[in-house]
Copies of this chain bind each other. A is one copy, B any other.
Amino acid sequence: MLGNFSYCNPTKLYFGEDSLNYLNTELPKYGENVVLIYGGGSIKKNGIYDDVIKILKDNGKNVAEISGVMPNPTVEKLYEGIEIARKHNVDFILAVGGGSVCDYAKAVSVSVNCDEDPWDKYYVRFEEPVCETIPVGCVLTMAGTGSEMNAGSVITNHSAKMKVGHVFADEKIMPRFSILNPKYTMTLPHYQMIAGIYDIFNHICEQYFSGEDDNTSDYISEALMRSVISASRIANKNPEDYEARSNIMWSATWALNTLVAKGKTTDWMVHMLGQAVGAYTDATHGMTLAAVSLPYYSYIMPYGLSKFKRFAINVWDVNPEGKSDEEVAKEGLKCMEDWMKELGLVMKISDLGVTDEMIEGIADATLIMTGGYKVLSRDEVVDILKKSM
């Protein structure tokens, strides 16, 4: 049942090949001290950095930079960024990159004026900011996390072996605007493209695999999955296919901007397993999800059989005639497995650097969620991790 909820997502999205020009529309709305945040420097090679800097200068902005934001941004990097932003007396944060850069920008936004340790406050105690937050805008260069239109932020603490996501309650933490140019995503290596695609797909699965009712959100989830599957098969063969990259980018945004979670308890167990693997290996996020997914879904399938049957029919076009519910459900997971292998996803956590010795530690680092079809015991977590090797 949809039940009681609120929905508000004021992020303004500019989509398409010409979308960067809209920076000129947005920048005048904010103060002059801008902190520009980006990652490993690929934006300097592909020209996006130069284009952004020119627009910032044209708009009379005083720019400081936080560069080198890593794929799983660390708490140490957050502390460093907060210092830069404070010294610059920041009015506005512009994130140029993928989901990690956007997530990191939001973490800086809520921390600049925070008197407490932001790791403890936001990622351990899950408190909401009481300080003034800094507005964030994004120029997205990679499709996957949906961070461009939500209030989520994931930060990794290696010393604590924790990778933690906080979805902030206030829609003001969402980016004020995000610029989505599908062409930018074409500069990514194939490995990152398919990891992003699986991240998108799994975001939808995490919200879809809960509940027993006939909810509008589930229909929309099925639509987004179908669109991602169709477009990913085209992009996998031809990464330069603009239409396919457009549909992937747009689906990514809607997969994780809270819409398809309405009326759902949501699962998120694959993310918990994958994030624990990520905390131990620093492996690419989407690949950690891919590598644990089939053992997890095969394990919980009997507990949510009717939904897995629906998944098979509505997402994978499995013909149910003359088959038991379990046969239909299994056929759906087989279709999913075939698609994952077709894309070239990593299917084993051992291929991501996980060793037998790490399994117990990863299990300890795996947060158990309760919204899905089966609340796992620690033994079951260990078992799923072993089956993922």
The answer to the question of A219 belonging to the interface, with a C-beta cut-off of 8 Å to chain B, is: yes
Q: Once bound together, how far apart are the Cα atoms of A221 and B219, in whole Å?
A: 10
A1-34 CB contact bits vs B (8 Å, 1 = yes)? 1111111111111111111001000000000000
Cβ of A236 to closest chain B Cβ, rounded Å: 15
CB pair A219–B226 under 8 Å, yes or no, is yes
CB pair B243–A213 under 8 Å, yes or no, is yes
Q: Once bound together, how far apart are the Cα atoms of A14 and B259, in whole Å?
A: 13
Q: Once bound together, how far apart are the Cα atoms of A216 and B245, in whole Å?
A: 11
Q: Once bound together, how far apart are the Cα atoms of A171 and B14, in whole Å?
A: 14
Set B6, B13, B247: member contacting A7, Cβ < 8 A: B13
Set B9, B12, B171, B182: member contacting A6, Cβ < 8 A: B12
The answer to whether A18 and B4 touch (CB under 8 A), given A215-B247, A216-B224, is yes
CB pair B5–A16 under 8 Å, yes or no, is yes
Chain B residues, Cβ within 8 Å of A18: 4
CB pair A231–B250 under 8 Å, yes or no, is no
A184-220 CB contact bits vs B (8 Å, 1 = yes)? 0000000000000000000000000000011110011
Set B7, B219, B226: member contacting A12, Cβ < 8 A: B7
CB pair A22–B6 under 8 Å, yes or no, is yes
The answer to the question of A262 belonging to the interface, with a C-beta cut-off of 8 Å to chain B, is: yes
CB pair A223–B231 under 8 Å, yes or no, is no
CB pair B2–A246 under 8 Å, yes or no, is yes
Chain B residues, Cβ within 8 Å of A213: 243
CB pair B231–A227 under 8 Å, yes or no, is no
Instruction: Report the nearest B residue to A12, measured CB to CB.
Output: B8
CB pair A2–B243 under 8 Å, yes or no, is yes
8 Å CB interface, A250-289 against B: 250-251, 254, 259, 262-263
Cβ of A251 to closest chain B Cβ, rounded Å: 5
- Interface hub of A6, A215, A231 (most chain B Cβ within 10 A): A6
Chain B residues, Cβ within 8 Å of A259: 254
Instruction: Report the nearest B residue to A313, measured CB to CB.
Output: B317
Cβ of A23 to closest chain B Cβ, rounded Å: 13
- Interface hub of A2, A19, A254 (most chain B Cβ within 10 A): A2
The answer to whether A247 and B10 touch (CB under 8 A), given A3-B16, A5-B16, A224-B219, is no
A-B contact pairs, 26 of them (CB 8 A): A2-B16, A2-B250, A3-B246, A4-B16, A4-B17, A4-B18, A6-B15, A7-B13, A7-B15, A8-B11, A9-B9, A213-B243, A215-B227, A216-B224, A216-B254, A219-B226, A220-B220, A220-B224, A220-B227, A220-B254, A221-B223, A223-B223, A246-B263, A250-B262, A250-B263, A254-B259
- A-B pairs, 9 with minimum CB distance: A4-B16, A223-B223, A10-B10, A219-B223, A8-B12, A2-B246, A219-B227, A216-B227, A7-B13
